[in-house]
């Protein structure tokens, strides 16, 4: 499987923030979650990928062809569907205007598919943009993004502010999109539970720096959080079961929690030690806040 999107050592410098050599890829057939705290640089990265901002170093390859500085190529953009966190169409437009915009913009615009998606999402064709709820707005954006048969979807906080039912509907749409093995999705989100449901791997950045890239299975199924007393911490560290750089320690008043890369291995070596499964949110918390021994 080749990479649909490849970001290599991306650098973007602002006065008070630097996106510092961020690298990751979206292979065909995979959903890549893009996480990080507020101001980490996720939106900056996505803007650079989409050509909304220039960048100062590194490279971005879309569909195996690189684009420089000011914008992604027109040909590449024909193969991308974009969903932002807010509905980006002028508020006075009607849905028929949005369909006309799609037809004007994309050579492979599928008017029938757009109508069908609107029907599926129960969005009335006569509605003004300004009368759509947030959930409806996100679905409209998804319909617009999907109606030209893109190969790559880029979603920036697309599920933020949606109720659980609407979020589940959106995730279902994304799963259906991935039925084609040549498709790929880059989705940035603060709602890590959504990513646990659909992402194949997760890229985390913080303060402009790449923190980790991990398969979701490694995070949610293999790694774990060990709850240790002081003596157990030393014992665990002295056993050298894991690379010290892979452990993250968060100390609290009553215990010390250690993120370990393989909870089964730990359980075999130290059966008496309580070690829970972790989830993406905790994994990210440990990776960002945890202490390295």
Residues in the site for another protein, rule: CB under 8 A?
47, 50-54, 70-71, 74-75, 77-78, 80, 82, 84, 86-93, 97, 100-101, 104-107, 129
Neighbours of 107 (CB within 10 A): 7
Strand partners, 209: 20, 206
In the complex, the smallest distance separating the C-beta of residue 224 from another protein, rounded to whole angstroms, is 40
Q: State the residue for tokens 């991306």.
A: 10
CB 185 within 8 A of CB 153: yes
In the complex, the smallest distance separating the C-beta of residue 95 from another protein, rounded to whole angstroms, is 12
Of 141 and 223, the one with the shorter C-beta distance to another protein is: 141
Of 74 and 231, the one with the shorter C-beta distance to another protein is: 74
DSSP H helices, 4-41, are none
CB 202 within 8 A of CB 36: no
In the complex, the smallest distance separating the C-beta of residue 72 from another protein, rounded to whole angstroms, is 8
Pairing outcome for strands 209-215 and 224-228: unpaired
Instruction: Give the Cα separation of 117 and 287 in Å (integer).
Output: 39
CB 236 within 8 A of CB 254: no
Of 70 and 172, the one with the shorter C-beta distance to another protein is: 70
CB 287 within 8 A of CB 219: no
Of 106 and 121, the one with the shorter C-beta distance to another protein is: 106
Of 148 and 210, the one with the shorter C-beta distance to another protein is: 148
Residue 201 three-state SS: strand
Q: What are phi and psi of 292, to 5 degrees?
A: -95, 130
In the complex, the smallest distance separating the C-beta of residue 162 from another protein, rounded to whole angstroms, is 17
Of 91 and 230, the one with the shorter C-beta distance to another protein is: 91
In the complex, the smallest distance separating the C-beta of residue 70 from another protein, rounded to whole angstroms, is 6
Neighbours of 15 (CB within 10 A): 5
In the complex, the smallest distance separating the C-beta of residue 90 from another protein, rounded to whole angstroms, is 4
């Amino acid at each position: 499987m080749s990479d649909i999107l490849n970001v290599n050592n991306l650098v973007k410098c602002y006065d008070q923030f630097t996106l510092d050599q961020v690298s990751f890829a979206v292979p065909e057939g995979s959903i890549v979650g893009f996480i990080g705290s507020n101001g980490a640089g996720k939106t900056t990265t996505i803007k650079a990928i989409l050509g909304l901002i220039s960048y100062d170093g590194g490279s971005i390859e879309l569909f195996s062809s690189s684009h420089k500085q000011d914008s992604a190529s027109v040909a590449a953009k024909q193969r991308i569907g974009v969903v932002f966190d807010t509905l980006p169409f002028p508020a006075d437009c009607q849905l028929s205007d949005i369909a006309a915009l799609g037809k004007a913009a994309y050579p492979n615009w599928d008017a029938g598919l757009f109508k069908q998606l609107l029907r599926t999402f129960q969005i009335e064709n006569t509605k003004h943009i300004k009368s759509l709820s947030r959930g409806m707005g996100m679905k409209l954006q998804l319909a617009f993004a999907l109606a030209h048969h893109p190969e790559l979807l880029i979603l920036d906080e697309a599920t933020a502010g949606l109720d659980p039912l609407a979020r589940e509907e959106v995730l279902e749409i994304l799963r259906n999109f991935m039925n084609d093995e040549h498709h790929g999705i880059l989705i940035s989100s603060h709602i890590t539970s959504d990513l646990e449901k659909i992402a194949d791997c997760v890229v985390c950045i913080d303060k402009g720096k790449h923190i980790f890239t991990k398969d979701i299975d490694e995070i949610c199924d293999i790694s774990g959080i060990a709850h240790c007393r002081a003596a157990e911490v030393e014992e665990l560290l002295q056993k050298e079961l894991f690379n010290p750089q892979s452990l993250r320690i968060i100390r609290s008043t009553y215990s010390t929690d250690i993120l370990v890369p393989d909870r089964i291995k730990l359980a075999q070596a130290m059966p008496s030690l309580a070690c829970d499964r972790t989830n993406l949110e905790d994994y990210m918390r440990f990776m960002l806040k945890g202490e390295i021994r």
